[in-house]
Every structure is written in structure tokens, then in C-alpha cells.
């Protein structure tokens, strides 16, 4: 699926304004702000929704991550449903719809009654909202990346696509910051009783601002041309070819998904559950890791426009595999200086950024315009459902059963090793080729 055609990015009317760039990527900020908040406050959520009568805390955390994973498995469904809408009626209306769903579900989560009030209905209500979030998130990525890459000037597709990942990093940072602020400003009992709700409720004003920006978003010239082209004039991709592209793309995202969620989201709860860190210490470590992540994304995307997606992403996967175990051992060392731990987690975040920067453009280059929203959305959702959504559940359960504190490192090493093989199949000149129409 790599036939080259005229590059639409330089066509007159391409949406290149800063407002269009922000409008296309702002939904990812909301999405990952919420997913980050849920991950960072997982231990508090577990006690409020999954631990009736003071049950086992580790078991409650596993159930919390099960709800977390369930939302990820609904992402591929959302990617198909909303991706088909985006490829038929347009990127803009679809992105407005999924943003509205995500904002509404996140806000309602902050208003839910806990187990102490609603009994067994509480975890089911929480899980239902997680499903809505998963569906909307599944449609968000494909539309946002399609707009960003189809709007990019020639030779800057990697940089423009990297803005999707960059707003993910900003969302995770905002989620960590909101959780850390609540944990710092309030006492432990206050956080448990009502303070955990505040970061979720903050999604409402954030979402309304994002919706205002999206309402002004223009459709991309590439989509307008694809819709105007007669179906008979377009070469039809076989179902088998599309399926192969999705599976191969998910393999290419394997290292990014596993390392990203292990280092950037699972880390706080792991530090608390396995190493006895406080909520504040765990959140501080996560903020530092996400700062490193954010700092590397845009440079990595720009670098991939010069040397290729393969070189940058393979480097990131290999570095993540090599660094995983030393990082965990350093965090486990009680006599290691705090600055060393800070540098280590920031470096781990930066390594993930090497894969997250070029990743969106790499996916966009795998699919033609007429199925790009669906194709790259399903690929991304599938990879995240398997390798990110299950990370917290798998790591927590394996650590509990084996008693090993190194389980997260082994998970990253295996996923990065396999992901590197898939990334090696990329062509070195894909970044110079035009997007397929």
C-alpha cells in the first residue's frame, strides 16, 4: 500500500494556520488528560468503586485496570464506526461528535456515586462511561491525524503528525498536574472523599474550549478531492490488503504503545503498589517522565522528515528495551539520589517520544485518503487495546502473582523486541513519498 501520487499537502487552501493545527489535535489533549487522570488516580478510584467493605486493595486495583482495559478494547469499535463516518461525511463533523462524547463522559465520571452510595451499580456505571470514552477515543485519533498529515506542507508531514503525539503528552502532563495539585492541596481523606472528582470535572470547560476551536475547522483539500472522485476512478484496496496493513501497523506501534503506557501511565500506581511510594512521589515521577516525553516528540517528528521514520522509531524501540530494566532497578534502589531517578524517568519518557513523534505520519502513509481515517484509527486503536490498555492489568496481576518488581521492565523488553522487527519492514524513503489518494 505504498503507491505514490501527487502530494496534496501543497495544494492551495491546505489548512496550515495555527488555529487549524490546534483544532485538529486538541481532542487528543482532552482524551489523554482523562485517561491520564484515571491512571494517576487509579488507587483512589479502586477504593471508591471496586473495594466494598475494605476489600483487598491489590484486587481492587486489578479491577480498576480491567475497566481501564475495557475502554481500550472499545477503541477499535469506535475507530471503525467513526472512521467510516470520517471517510464518508468528513473529518470535521466526526471530530466534533467524538469530542462531545468524550467531554460528556468524562464530566459525568466526576459526578458518579461511589460504591458506598450506589452499591454494586457504581462500578458498572463507571465501566459504562469508560466504554463511551473508548468509543469516542477510537474515532478521535484517525480523524486528527488525517487532518494534520493531509494539511502538512511538503516535507513536514512528520512534524505536523507529531503534534498529535505532542498534545497527548500535554494531556498526560495536565492530568498528572491536576492529580498532583489535588493530592498536594487536600488531605488524604479529602482526596478520597471528594477531591478525586475535581480533575474529571475540569474536562467540561476544557472540552467546551476544544469544541469552539473544532467548529472553525475546515475540511482538508485531500478529502474534498477524494469525495469528488468517482468511485470507479479509484483503485480498490482488497480486504486482505487492508487487513495486512492494519496488523502490520499495529506491530509497528507495539513498542511505542507498551513502553509509553508502562513508563508514562502505569508507573504511578506501580510505584505505590510495589515500591511503597506515596501518591505525591509517584505523581512527581510521572510529571518528570512526561516532560521528557513532550520534549522529544516534535524534534523526533521533524528528524523523521529528514532521515526517515524507520531510523528514528527503531532507535527509540531499541533504547526503550535496553533502558527498561536499569530504570526499574534504579527506582527500586533506596539509596539512589533523587536527581538520578529524575534524570532516568525523564530519559525514559524521551525514548518513548522518539517513537511517538514519527508514529502518526508513519501510519498516515500506510493508507489512502478514502480509508485513512478508518485505517489508521483502527490500527492505532488495536495496538493500544492490546499493548497499552492491558499493560496496567497485566503488569499488576503478574507482579502480584510472581512477587517480582521487575515485571514492567520485562513487558517493555519483549514488546520492544518484537516491535523492532515490525518497524524494520518500513521503507527508508516513505517520508519522501506522497500520501496516497
Cα 56-57-61 angle, rounded to 5 deg? 120
What mean pLDDT, rounded, does the chain reach? 83
Domain 15-227+238-432 has CATH 1.10.3720.10: no
pLDDT at 3: 41
- At residue 151, the pLDDT reads 84
pLDDT of 10 reads 39
> Which pLDDT does position 262 carry in this prediction?
84
- Predicted local confidence at residue 62, as pLDDT: 66
Convert the pLDDT of each residue in 19-60 to its tens digit: 668 888 888 888 778 877 877 777 787 778 876 555 555 656
Domain residue ranges of the chain, discontinuous segments joined by +: 15-227+238-432
* Tens digit of each residue's pLDDT (9 = 90 or more) over 132-151: 988 988 898 899 999 899 88
- For residue 384, the model assigns a pLDDT of 83
Average pLDDT per consecutive 10 residues, the chain (437 residues; last block may be shorter): 40 51 83 78 78 58 67 85 91 92 91 86 86 88 90 89 90 83 85 89 90 85 77 58 89 94 73 66 79 95 96 96 90 81 89 96 92 91 82 75 84 95 91 82
Amino acid at each position: 500500500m505504498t503507491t505514490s501520487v501527487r502530494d496534496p499537502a501543497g495544494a492551495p487552501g491546505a489548512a496550515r494556520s495555527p488555529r487549524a493545527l490546534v483544532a485538529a489535535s486538541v481532542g487528543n489533549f482532552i482524551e489523554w488528560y482523562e485517561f491520564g487522570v484515571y491512571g494517576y488516580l487509579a488507587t483512589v478510584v479502586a477504593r471508591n468503586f471496586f473495594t466494598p467493605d475494605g476489600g483487598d486493595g491489590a484486587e481492587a486495583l486489578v479491577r480498576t485496570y480491567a475497566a481501564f482495559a475495557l475502554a481500550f478494547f472499545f477503541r477499535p469499535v469506535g475507530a471503525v464506526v467513526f472512521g467510516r463516518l470520517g471517510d464518508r461525511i468528513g473529518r470535521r463533523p466526526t471530530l466534533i461528535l467524538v469530542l462531545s462524547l468524550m467531554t460528556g463522559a468524562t464530566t459525568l465520571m466526576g459526578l458518579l456515586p461511589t460504591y458506598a452510595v450506589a452499591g454494586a451499580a457504581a462500578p458498572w456505571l463507571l465501566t459504562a462511561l469508560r466504554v463511551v470514552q473508548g468509543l469516542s477515543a477510537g474515532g478521535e485519533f484517525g480523524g486528527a491525524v488525517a487532518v494534520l498529515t493531509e494539511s502538512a506542507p511538503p516535507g513536514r508531514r512528520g512534524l505536523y503528525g507529531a503534534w498529535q503525539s505532542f498534545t497527548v503528552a500535554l494531556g498526560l502532563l495536565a492530568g498528572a498536574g491536576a492529580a498532583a495539585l489535588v493530592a498536594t492541596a487536600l488531605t488524604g481523606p479529602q482526596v478520597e472523599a471528594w477531591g478525586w472528582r475535581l480533575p474529571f470535572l475540569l474536562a467540561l470547560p476544557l472540552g467546551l474550549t476544544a469544541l469552539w476551536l473544532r467548529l472553525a475547522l475546515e475540511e482538508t483539500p485531500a478529502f474534498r478531492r477524494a469525495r469528488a472522485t468517482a468511485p470507479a476512478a479509484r483503485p480498490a484496496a482488497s480486504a486482505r490488503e487492508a487487513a495486512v496493513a492494519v496488523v502490520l501497523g499495529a506491530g509497528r506501534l507495539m513498542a511505542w504503545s507498551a513502553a509509553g503506557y508502562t513508563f508514562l501511565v502505569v508507573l504511578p500506581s506501580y510505584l505505590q503498589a510495589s515500591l511503597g511510594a506515596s501518591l505525591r512521589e509517584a505523581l512527581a515521577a510521572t510529571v518528570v517522565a512526561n516532560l521528557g516525553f513532550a520534549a522529544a516528540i516534535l524534534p523526533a517528528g521533524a528528524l523523521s522528515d529528514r532521515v526517515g521514520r524507520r531510523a528514528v522509531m527503531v532507535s527509540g524501540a531499541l533504547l526503550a528495551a535496553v533502558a527498561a530494566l536499569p530504570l526499574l532497578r534504579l527506582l527500586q534502589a533506596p539509596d539512589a539520589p533523587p536527581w538520578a531517578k529524575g534524570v532516568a524517568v525523564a530519559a525514559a519518557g524521551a525514548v518513548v517520544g522518539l517513537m511517538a513523534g514519527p508514529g502518526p505520519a508513519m501510519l498516515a502513509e500506510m493508507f489512502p485518503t478514502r480509508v485513512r481515517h478508518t485505517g489508521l484509527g483502527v490500527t492505532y486503536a488495536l495496538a493500544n487495546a492490546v499493548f497499552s490498555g492491558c499493560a496496567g492489568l497485566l503488569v499488576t496481576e503478574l507482579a502480584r502473582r510472581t512477587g517480582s518488581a521487575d515485571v514492567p521492565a520485562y513487558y517493555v523488553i519483549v514488546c520492544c523486541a518484537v516491535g523492532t522487527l515490525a518497524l524494520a519492514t518500513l521503507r527508508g524513503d516513505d517520508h519522501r513519498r506522497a500520501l496516497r489518494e
